Amino acid sequence: MQLNSFKVLFLSTSLLLITQATAGPYNPPAVGTKYYVTSTQGDFLNEVVSTEQDRYLTTSTQLSTKRVSEVTRFFGFINFAKNLREDILPLDRDKARALFPLKVGNKVSFSHYGGTSKWYRDHGIEVISEYMGQIGEENSPIFTLKMRSETPGFFKFEGTCDYSVKLAFCVQILGDLFVKDNPEFTRPVKLNVTKAQIGGVELLVKNPNAK
């Protein structure tokens, strides 16, 4: 009887540990964290300069031109442009937060606004898979998010984000972008994080699913 009880306890504990290992909470990155990105727009260095509960602010430097901009990263997978006065209403913030902790099958829909509520962009995000990717010397959970963002007639993105819980950043983005009257931005999108720097320690990012 005692042996059976031990087996039940062991199995229950093992299942709990497995569940905990495959759930991805959101933790904002530390100030000073750096992401080195290569993309269809060129190579960038992004550095975290401040954090809040559901977002963090980065300076994004395009290495070829040295042009610097500020980007607010909402949960690390939606970007808000400062010059467009983009933000999210509290109710939609709660809707987006329901995606966490990340788990395959989680699905959310929400909107954000720009230009002081003059326009809105709708988002649909679903966690479709999970795998382990190497970041530095360790394997770390990465969740593939299926994403659709649209302001009808003006903006549309459909694709995937491979989201690292460790980095709170998409280590890979693949998809198609449409921006009205802007052929420079209407194109296939590909982005990869090649390395990150946390607390002064440089971590190479090796994505076994890189395409």
CATH code where residue 181 lies: 2.40.360
Q: For residue 16, what pLDDT is reported?
A: 37
Q: Return the pLDDT at 62.
A: 96
Q: Return d(Cα 163, Cα 170) in angstroms, integer.
A: 4
101 preceded by a cis bond (ω within 30 of 0): yes
Alpha helices in the chain (DSSP H): 2-21, 90-97
Contact 148, 157 (CB under 8 A): yes
**Residue 14, in any domain of the structure:** no
Is 84 inside any structural domain?
A: yes
Percent residues over pLDDT 90 in the chain = 78
pLDDT recorded at residue 17? 37
Residue 7 forms part of a structural domain:
no
- Residue 6 covered by a domain: no
Number of structural domains the chain divides into: 1
Which portions of the chain are predicted below pLDDT 50? 1-21
What pLDDT is stored for residue 22 in this prediction? 57
Residues paired with residue 164 on neighbouring β-strands, in sequence order: 142, 169
Judge whether 9 lies within some domain.
Answer: no
User: Mind listing the pLDDT tens digit for each residue in 116-151?
Assistant: 778 999 999 999 999 999 999 999 999 999 999 999
- The helix (H) or strand (E) run that includes residue 122 is strand 119-135
The phi and psi torsions of 77 (rounded to 5 degrees) equal: -130, -5
**Distance from C-alpha of 7 to C-alpha of 1, rounded to nearest angstrom:** 10
Quick check: is 120 in a domain? yes
Query: Which residue range(s) make up the domain with 112?
Result: 27-206
Strand pairing category for 55-62 and 42-51: antiparallel
CA distances from 80 to 77, 142, 143 (A): 10, 23, 22
Answer whether residue 95 is part of any domain. Answer: yes
| 3: three-class secondary structure by DSSP | helix
Kindly state whether residue 49 falls inside one of the protein's structural domains.
yes
